[in-house]
Amino acid sequence: MGLFDKLAGWLGFKKEVNVLCLGLDNSGKTTIINKLKPSNAQAQDIVPTIGFSIEKFKTSSLSFTVFDMSGQGRYRNLWEHYYKEGQAVIFVIDSADKLRMVVAKEELDTLLNHPDIKHRRIPILFLANKMDVRDALSSVKVSQLLCLENIRDKPWQICGTDALRGDGLQEGVEWLQGKLDTRSNQVVEDMRT
């Protein structure tokens, strides 16, 4: 991509943002993405490789890359390859799966320490999903268990969601949009100075 395309993108002429939607299997990523995805979204590059699957689709302004982070240790290199192109992350947690909260934290820590993520101020939206399930942990509790307060070099937000009904998603996505707008304004400022 040429520089002009890049700037044009940020400035809104042809804005395209690549969002990585990550989390353990069964956390609700597919359900969430299906709620966010407009009906005209084009699926692309669905790679049904053995043991590793990634879904990529695109709307006029957003491109989503979705994959499971669990049980696929052997394929880690394949999915980490996509980190570079991500400009925002949606990290989905199954708030009712207390047993695997520690696995989710390990995966989050690995993500945050990856060289393609570590030094970039990309916004991360955490969705504490399955809030409708009885005994699900609150978003505050999920935030504590994942030690989110330790993330100081990236903007982040956590929202409780019920992906089946779509509750909480709008609030989260609006926050993310606001962060991406701020970044595009920063580019404008940088060009002026």
Per-position x/- string for 69-108, each x denoting binding to ligand G3D as judged by CB under 6 A, each - no binding: ----------------------------------------
Q: Which residues contact 72 (CB under 8 A, 6 or more apart)?
A: 51, 52, 79
List all residues 6 or more positions away from 181 whose beta carbon is below 8 Å from its beta carbon.
Answer: none
The pattern of x and - marking residues 136 through 175 that bind ligand G3D according to CB under 6 A reads: --------------------------xxx-----------
133 is a site residue for ligand G3D (CB under 6 A)? yes
Closer residue to ligand G3D, CB minimum distance, 130 or 179: 130
Identified binder of ligand G3D from the candidate list 19, 88, 127, 130, rule CB under 6 A = 130
Q: Check residue 27 for interaction with ligand G3D (CB under 6 A).
A: yes
**Cβ at position 29, least distance to ligand G3D in Å:** 4
3-state secondary structure 153-178: CCCEEEEECECCCCECHHHHHHHHHH
Residue 49: how many CB atoms within 10 A of its CB? 9
Q: Which is nearer to ligand G3D, 26 or 177 (CB)?
A: 26
Nearest approach in angstroms of CB 172 to ligand G3D is 13
**CA 26 to the chain's CA centroid:** 15
Residue in this structure with the two tokens 């970044």, named with its chain if needed: 183
Residue 37: other Cβ atoms inside 10 A: 15
Contact 120, 173 (CB under 8 A): no
Q: Which is nearer to ligand G3D, 33 or 180 (by Cβ)?
A: 33
CA 27, CA 7: separation in Å to the nearest integer? 35
Collapse the DSSP code of 13 into the 3-class scheme (helix H, G, I; strand E, B; otherwise coil) and give the result. coil
Q: Least distance in Å: CB of 5 to ligand G3D? A: 31
Interacting residue ranges for ligand G3D, rule: CB under 6 A: 23, 25-31, 68, 129-130, 132-133, 162-164
